[in-house]
Structure 1
Amino acid sequence: MTRDTRGLMGLAWPMAMRMLMLHGIVVIDAWLVAPLGENALAAMGLASAIGGLLLGAQNAFANASQILVAQAFGSGVPERLRDSYRGGLAISLGVCAFGLAALLVVADPLLAVSGQSAAVQADARLYLIVFVGVVMGEAVGQSLSAFFNGLGNTRAPFYSYLVSVPLNIGCSYVLIHGLWGLPQMGVAGAALGSVIGAVVRAAYLVWRLSRLEGAWKAAPTGPLRAVIRAHLAFSLPVAATFFSAQASQSVCMLIYAAYDVWQFAALTLIMPWVQVAGTFGMAWAQAVGLDAAQHLGQGGGRAALTTLLRTAWKGAFAMSAVVAALYAVVILSADTLYPALEPQTRTALLTFLPVLLLLPWPKNSNAICGNTLRAAGRTVYVMHIFLWSQWLFKVPASAALVLWLDAPVVWVVGLMLAEEIIKLWPFHRGLLRGRWRDALPP
């Protein structure tokens, strides 16, 4: 194993485990809720599509913040590091406030147009009411996670989940099923368990930050408004990219709600698994982006960056094989994992397998390109690739397949693969050619 590989693995594995536990919460909640029936699963999927928009917005700005922190850390200027911290936290809190205000306005209309029954809508509404606590906790948790990641200390966010996830799962199980004399809350119990976990995680990261030492803590800073303006100038295209991905996925899930309850339940079960298994490749790509940002912040040249990218792609292909194998295990073990499912739901799950075996290869290669281009400052270029592939292809195609052609549910899963194939050429061309590479020292 080369030095570059060891360095990337040191950054990537804590991020992978953190993402795994984050998305794993949704998988476990779905597993805990599954015995309540397909209607409960549909309610959870519907609520998650809306609540995911809020968390997606926070995660979008956090991903931008960690790049800025990595660049500031690489520069060795304490003032830049402190401004990156202040700007990231202020923006995260602002996004939280704006998102909760928007939720009050749009939640009921979105639930009403979903096409699901009144009972499913009622359960989804209750889930969202409780889920507000998760959004508030993650406003702090996501911002501090981004700060630690940018410093190269990816273990601190990982440990925060190591502390909070067992508590989340235990509380969700007790509250969903009403054990030990507590009320049986159903899907709302899963949301309340997530609230408890989010608050504990944020508290842990605040404690870790208080113990962190460095000249950046006492460094002079400018007015907060100017810091936020500079932070937004870089982060808005990055945030728009990540939020667009989450928003388009949520819109598609609302479109997919037009399927019968069995096909929609199958999607509700598999989508968190797509995220869980995909965390390995995404964490590797984010580690590459952070390493590249620190390298470029130090004024590094083309030769070292090329060596880093060779290592990155070798790792990405290895991760793709692992992810494909995980998808196969989940699909083929569905009878064991979810014994209470109806036969129609199991059949729908099995049709997803051929697509999911191919999905990781283009997806992980595109992720390497996207994270490296952001580290190089080409945030607007990356944003355009995502925006056009999602809103000019994926969302209209989803609407056409579901609402017009009444296509089987496997076709909309196939759209995920088609989207990644569409992005291959612009991503790889932008990374391997361009004036930004020519401007680097040898």
Structure 2
Amino acid sequence: MQLFKNLSKQTLSEITATAWPMAFNAILIQSVTIIDLLLVASLGDISVVAFGIAGAIIAFIIGIQFAIANGTQLVLSRAIGAGNINKVGLEMASGWVINLSFSLLALIFLFFAIEKIIDLITHTEAVAIQAISYVNISLCLLAFSSLSQVIVVYFNASKKSRIPLYGFLVEIPINVICSAP
């Protein structure tokens, strides 16, 4: 056990204090999808299938946003750890530019190609119409998602991971209220 001989209780508690809100955030993000699915389920099979198709497409885009944000977090952590405020600002701005640029490109691509993509996935017109509608609604959130991801990783890199947690705790009831028929 030579590997763990320098591991202190303070290090373990710092890691735990930073990690548990991040883990809870991940659970909350998934719970939003489950809540949305439960609300859509009452609309019937076609709506559930359309939601699944649209959700997979949007999850792919948001997954790339998360990857860009995670890369930003790695760079931000170094700048914050070094206490270099100018570098922190530069890394934040760079993360936003990269994430927003990707989101804009994805938005433009999906705006023009979503019908063809969904036609490749389903051959049922009713499902395709609803899936296109769900994707178009979700496209409005891509820019906001890219901005919020960079803000979240700033707090995570600053060891203030509870702040995004509080935001998600407010977001879930708002999502339910907005999504409820």
Tell me, yes or no, whether TM beats 0.5: yes
Specify the code of the residue in structure 2 equivalent to 1:81. V
Please state if 1:27 is matched with 2:34: yes
Task: Give the Cα separation in 2 of the matches to 1:152 and 1:39.
Answer: 44
Task: Give the Cα separation in 1 of the matches to 2:150 and 2:171.
Answer: 17
Q: How does 1:159-238 map to 2 (within 5 A)?
A: 159-173=166-180, 177=181
Q: In the alignment, which of 95, 99, 107 is matched to residue 102 of structure 2?
A: 95
**What TM-score does the superposition give when structure 2 sets the normalisation length?**
0.89
- Higher CA-based Rg: 1
Cα deviation, residue 38, structure 1: 2.2
Cα deviation, residue 106, structure 1: 2.4
Cα deviation, residue 135, structure 1: 0.8
Cα deviation, residue 2, structure 1: 2.8
Task: Give the Cα separation in 2 of the matches to 1:30 and 1:78.
Answer: 42
Q: Tell me how large the CA RMSD over aligned residues is.
A: 1.5
Task: Give the Cα separation in 2 of the matches to 1:116 and 1:70.
Answer: 47
SS of corresponding position for 1:68: helix
Structure 1 pair 7–116 and aligned structure 2 pair: CA distance change class (3 A): farther
Aligned length: 174
Task: Give the Cα separation in 1 of the matches to 2:137 and 2:131.
Answer: 10
Task: Give the Cα separation in 1 of the matches to 2:159 and 2:173.
Answer: 25
Cα deviation, residue 57, structure 1: 2.0
Please state if 1:60 is matched with 2:47: no
Partner of 1:126: 133
Q: In the alignment, which of 46, 57, 69 is matched to residue 53 of structure 2?
A: 46
Could you tell me whether the CA contact under 8 Å between 1:50 and 1:107 is conserved in 2? Answer: no
Task: Give the Cα separation in 2 of the matches to 1:136 and 1:127.
Answer: 16
Q: In the alignment, which of 138, 141, 144 is matched to residue 137 of structure 1?
A: 144
Q: How does 1:322-401 map to 2 (within 5 A)?
A: none
Please state if 1:10 is matched with 2:22: no
Could you tell me whether the CA contact under 8 Å between 2:122 and 2:128 is conserved in 1? Answer: no
- Structure 2 unmatched runs, 5+: 1-7
Task: Give the Cα separation in 2 of the matches to 1:78 and 1:124.
Answer: 44
- Structure 1 unmatched runs, 5+: 178-442
Cα deviation, residue 116, structure 1: 4.2
SS of corresponding position for 2:42: helix
Percent same amino acid among aligned pairs?
A: 27
Please state if 1:151 is matched with 2:166: no
Q: Which has the higher contact order (CA 8 A, sep 6+)?
A: 2
Partner of 1:383: none
Task: Give the Cα separation in 2 of the matches to 1:48 and 1:135.
Answer: 13
Could you tell me whether the CA contact under 8 Å between 2:65 and 2:103 is conserved in 1? Answer: yes
Partner of 1:81: 88
Cα deviation, residue 42, structure 1: 0.7
Specify the code of the residue in structure 2 equivalent to 1:65. T
Please state if 1:109 is matched with 2:109: no
**What TM-score does the superposition give when structure 1 sets the normalisation length?**
0.38
Runs of 4 or more, structure 1, over 3 Å off, are: none
